[in-house]
Each structure stands twice: as C-alpha cells, then as structure tokens.
Structure 1
Amino acid sequence: MNAERPPLAAAPGLAKGVVLPPPPARPAAQRPQPPTEPAEPVPNETPTREPTVTEDPAPSNSASRQRPGRPRPVGSATTKAEGAMQAITLSLPADLVVVLKARAREDRATQPETLMDALSATRERLADLVAEAHAPTVSDGLFLRRQPRTSSEPMATLSMRLLSGNVEAIDRLVASSGAPSRSALCAAALRAYLAVS
C-alpha cells in the first residue's frame, strides 16, 4: 500500500525539531493563589442577635433546605423514588421471549408495557398459573405426585427498565402468588396472556 500512495507534503509552518514558545503568562488576577492557613477564630465581642419571629433567618446553601409546607418523608434518602427507573433481568424460555417481542411490535408497545399488560390481564389467576407451571402433579390412581421439572427448553435473558413503583408491584405479585422468582411469575403470566404453550 505504501508504494501506491505518494508521501504527504509538509504542512506549512510545521517542521521537525521546532520548539514552540511557551504560552503567555497569566495576569496576576488570574493566577491561582496558594491556600492560606486559617487564622484562629477571634471571639466576637458584640453579641449576635437571635432572629425574631418577624425576621427570616439567612438562607443556607445546603441541599437539605425544604420548601415550606412540605414535610420530608422519613428515610427518603434511602428509598427509591417511584418515578426512578430500575433495570431488571428476567430469565425466560427463548420461545416466549420471541413471542413477547413480536407482540410488542404488533401492538406498537414496549416490551415492559406488554409484560405489564400480561400481569394485569392474569392478575386474578396468577397463583393458579404459577402453581400449574411449577408444581405439575401426576396421579398414580391413588395419590397425586409432583413431577420434578426438567427444563430442556433453551432460556433467554430479557433485560428491561421499569419504574421503581412497577418493580415493587411485580415483587408484591411474586409474594402473593407464591412464585419462586420474578422470572417464574412473568413466564406464567406471559404464557397465559400470549397463549404460548
């Protein structure tokens, strides 16, 4: 390739080995000043006046300032706002993920919206759907026996971002339905909603 291309011409004003002059000196006002050691506090001989009811105290620059009439909720620093987004990852059967994505495109909806639609539509029977999916029983004529579930179907990971309040609602559904995980709950709801066997 080097034989085919002609060498580049020298750029005007640039030459090898040229030393550039240093930048101009800053004016004295812009030079950084060395930190000064703090002087010992001098006791104030004039007594300071406490603000009275009619005076407003000087506003502070701290971020903890509140608006009047709005009490701060206890523990608000550690709890997530319901409007904040939270990423979740679900492990679902691959065929179910394909159908979910196709349905979302067909409905012109997002995948999280389709998931929430499935959970809303099956809410009343989620416990039954989860039990059916995760505790298959076989009768030997006298007794019902649980079959160990061997999953040979390929699994896929589905990541999505939901509002924190929606993630908390899904977690409440997991607890109330007896599902072993979010993934198990969502898989049961999606199978029923999307009519995937």
Structure 2
Amino acid sequence: MRTIPNPTQARSRQALERYIKVTIDLLAQNRFEDTSIAQIARLANSSVGTFYRLLADKDVLLCAVHERFVDDSHQVISDLVESLGSSEHPFQEQLKQFVRGIIGLYDGNEGLLRALIRRSSVDERFRERIHQLNFFVGHSLRSLVLKQRDQLSHPAPENAADLAGHVLLASMNYYSLVGTLGDTPRDHLPEELSLLICNYLQLR
C-alpha cells in the first residue's frame, strides 16, 4: 500500500479533503466498494487524474479516511478524559458520559467501521490502527476507573478495569456491525452499559 498523502499545495489539500468527505458519505451508505474511482472523482468535484496523482488507488483513500478517523477519535477521547478528570459528578455519571462519548464516535461511522473491520482481517496496517485505537479507549477507561479505586469492592480492580474496557469495545464493535445492542434503545445504552460496568466493578 502506498504512503498516505500529505500534500503541501492548498489545491491538493482541498481535493484530498473532498475525497475523504465523499468516502465517509459512501461508507455510511455502504456504497464505497461499488463506486468506481471515476464516480468518486466526480462526487468530489475533481478529476480521475487528480485522484491517481494524490491517491493511486481506493485502498490508499480508505487508509487516509481510517487515519483521519483514528486521529479525530484520539482527540475526542483525550478531551473527554481531561474534562472528566476535573468533574465532580459521581463515578457512575462520569462513566455514563464516557460511554456516551464513545458511542458518539461510532454513530454515523458504522459503514466506515464495518469496512475497516473487514479490511483488518487481511491487511496488517488496518489491523494495527484498530488495535491502537482500541488500546487507547481501553487505557482511557482504565485510568478513569482506577481513579475511583477506593470506591470499588472488586478484589482485583486493575484486572476488572482492563476487562471493562474490552467489554465496552466488544459492545461497540457489535453495535457497528449490527446497528443495535439487542432490544436496548440507543438512547438507553450509556446508562445501561455504565450500570453493567459499575456492577461488575462492585462500585460501593
């Protein structure tokens, strides 16, 4: 796979941004795989020549979209953790806000995430980025949990905090693939998942 472009000229940067936006829209509609390069270029108000000059193929474009999603997710999670670090809300409310923030990352990106999960099964670069993002989410939740260590009755809080992150990520991956978590309404998910984790951690 060719290196993801980082153009220096303004016109090229603008064209790349349009390609990324079009791709996100196509992924949300599950149309990316069936859309030709010529169609993508037309939707981006660009040309096939510009596409090949910047990106070479659709794999590079998908990789660029994935990198953008991962970078944006890191920033959102970092801001969320910083905000919760100074919060005076009870722990379950903080956890609910964290879960709500993670769900917000997944909402509207289900098509992208499904494509990335499929591609990661055959492409190590995609798989590594997914692992990095999952680790960051899990580590952020673990840090949030262990700040409340004195409120937890679980006999092994470090292990429990780690597993809680995996439970949340597994739930979100299923949510991406299927679009629901059973019969639980979407707006109830933050409260239900935070309650599940709090009960597992044996929050006093």
Do the two structures share a fold, i.e. TM-score over 0.5?
no
TM-score between the two structures when normalised by the length of structure 1: 0.26
Point out the structure with the larger helix share: 2
TM-score between the two structures when normalised by the length of structure 2: 0.26
Larger radius of gyration: 1
Flag the structure with more relative contact order, 1 or 2, with Cα contacts below 8 A and sequence separation at least 6. Answer: 1
